[in-house]
Amino acid sequence: MAAVFLKTHKRTIYKHLLTLIWTRGTVRHGSVGSGRIEKVLIANRGEIACRVMRTAKRIGLRSVAVYSDADRHSMHTAMADEAYHIGPAASQQSYLCMDKILEVARKSKAQFAELCKQEGIIFIGPPSSAIRDMGIKSTSKHIMSAAGVPIIEGYHGEDQSDTKLQIEAARIGYPVMIKAVRGGGGKGMRIARTEAEFHEQLESARREALKSFNDDVMLIEKFVENPRDCSVQRRHQKIIEEAPGPGISAEVRQKLGEAAVRAAKAVNYVGAGTVEFIMDAQHNFFFMEMNTRLQVEHPVSEMITGTDLVEWQLRVAAGERLPLTQEQIVLSGHSFEARIYAEDPNNNFLPGAGPLLHLSTPAADQNTRIETGVRQGDEVSAHYDPMIAKLVVWGEDRSAALKKLRYCLRQYNFEAGNVHTSFIAQHHSELFPEAKRPSDEELCQAALALILREKHDTQQFRNSSSDVFSPFASSNGRRLNVLQSRSMTLQLGDNKVEISITYNPDGSYSMQTRDGLFHVSGELQHEGDVTFLCCSVSGVLSRPKIVLLDNTVHIFSMEGSARVEVPVPKFLAGVSGSGTQGGAVAPMTGTIEKVLVKTGDVVQKGDPLMVMIAMKMEHTIRAPKAGVIKKVFFREGTQASRHAALVEMEEEEEASME
């Protein structure tokens, strides 16, 4: 999530314990208006823009959206009462361009930090001075230290030379965290565990920070191993969050709140903000940063307090008093939020861009919120963050909330209260077990779904044909004096499976697999955009969700999911996705940020070849084996599609013979 209404920098932060701060008073400044707000410009995109629009609509405010070339047909653009184009897909030329945002504010007459104040526009957020001071990590650390807020040891100085930063890292002691002073969300952050890898990690963090925030100034901090947290993370990005934080006593929570209040008062804060602390195993906590906005995970706070923090932010900006005092806020129950990412866990969580071919979500109710910025058919852009939605649940207690979360996600159960940020790395084998071969029952379900699709397509042909007796207008398998039999070939990874199918007179099917004979019947049922297969396999009834995409059958049930493919004939098959033989391929769609090799270079296995940027994250492409670079297919600044060949390599002996 970025700033709710004016985004100066996109920051979703490292390890945290969450405290929301609201400062009240009679002091007026550029962020507090004195009249009624009737229209609001939301200078952001995706699920958070949609979330703000829903509250604005509920309380009778008109909403104005901004969109880039990549978001012309996006959900937030369609939801708004008005929408204005602000430039190319690249964030630096659109969503991060303040002049363009202000121009839209003038055009739309929306009551939209310092530039807003100069234009006489209400900025829905804190004073510009607070954004400036808290937006730079090094500055915020100095202010918090002076205010008596505990901070973690580190270097926040102006000397940014490689030598100085490396000296400070050695003084602090490895491992250290290298962080962009304007960064967050895992962007511009790297861990250097030894002096030998410090320079490579520093350069990588700088490149990513410059691309994401237009600023590559860094700070160095001691890296805290396995800190206590109210989130589960990977790549320093939160993916599961909860409130209240587990294992935090009332006394520690009180101290956290007091420290957060001191932090807010130190910068004369007004409005909604988030103070983040890092806590070690002994419950010692240290200031990490203050986000001058609502965080991505603000819904978990709303769920346990019964509030709408976006509405509160709008009311504060209009000069109204807070609806409740601190004493009137009571925590009730427990809440979890799961972020939904367009990433491939089987490919090291690399982001995936492209069309969203199928999307179905749990039904929303009083205890379940679906915060989404995409619809089925939307394009997931390679230019923006891979988070596309959030699932938020509430329960009477932590156990009930976890049960609800499991029901909605059908994923691994992590119930232990001792949650830390290394959870995924330590439990990777349990979270991502080796893929299981679909069962024979699932193979029968896939075969039935394909047969029923054939019948549906045949019926459509029959309805549009003038010859209803055409043999192409029937697929019921009826034969004189004999039952129709056919063989269907399905593909499971690299292996092919044959199923012998007999059409029975009553409309059912007998399916013979390698391990047994099954009696199968059923029908496709459509509910909105979702298709279910209501079927019986040898007397066992089930109703899995079925998605048929080209030559692939996806089966989803409460027990898990299965994927079965139909082999594509060789004459119809496209070019293999494995790339050029002996070369390196792009693991995802992205922009070539840096080319590190040239034709004729000798490389060893694991040597860096290129640096790619995809969805604001940097990825280093390394040599799959030792050899000589025969050809480089991409230049810096060009875009490569997933599975595109990046370089061609040959054995060193072969190169010497040419």
Residue 630 one-letter amino acid: K
Quickly count: other Cβ atoms within 10 Å of residue 84's Cβ: 19
Residue reference for tokens 């509910």? 527
Q: For residue 12, give both structure tokens.
A: 């979703």
Q: Taking each helix axis from N to C terminus, what angle separates 46-58 and 309-317, rounded to the nearest 10 degrees? A: 70
How far, CA to CA in Å, does 543 sit from each of 286, 405, 406, 526?
Answer: 51, 21, 19, 12
Please name the residue ranges forming H helices in 392-518.
398-409, 423-426, 428-431, 440-464
Contact (Cβ atoms closer than 8 angstroms) between residue 452 and residue 523: yes
**Could you tell me which residues are beta bridge partners of residue 285?**
279
- Per residue, what are the HEC states of 335-384? EEEEEEECEEHHHCCEECCEECCCCCCCCCECCEEEEECCCCCCEECCCC
Q: For residue 194, give both structure tokens.
A: 């030894």
Helix (H) / strand (E) element for 135: namely helix 128-135
CA–CA–CA angle 92, 95, 99 (5° rounding): 85
- CA-to-CA distance for 502 and 508, rounded, in angstroms? 9
Residue 118 one-letter amino acid: Q
* CA-wise closest residue to 508 among 528, 492, 484, 525: 484
Residue reference for tokens 């962007």? 187
Going by DSSP bridges, is the β-strand pair 82-85/62-67 parallel, antiparallel, or unpaired?
parallel
Active site residues: 293
* CA-wise closest residue to 296 among 612, 14, 506, 37: 14
- CA-to-CA distance for 452 and 446, rounded, in angstroms? 10
- CA-to-CA distance for 648 and 656, rounded, in angstroms? 16
Contact (Cβ atoms closer than 8 angstroms) between residue 206 and residue 216: yes
Q: Is the dihedral of CA 235, 240, 244, 245 positive or negative?
A: negative
Quickly count: other Cβ atoms within 10 Å of residue 641's Cβ: 13
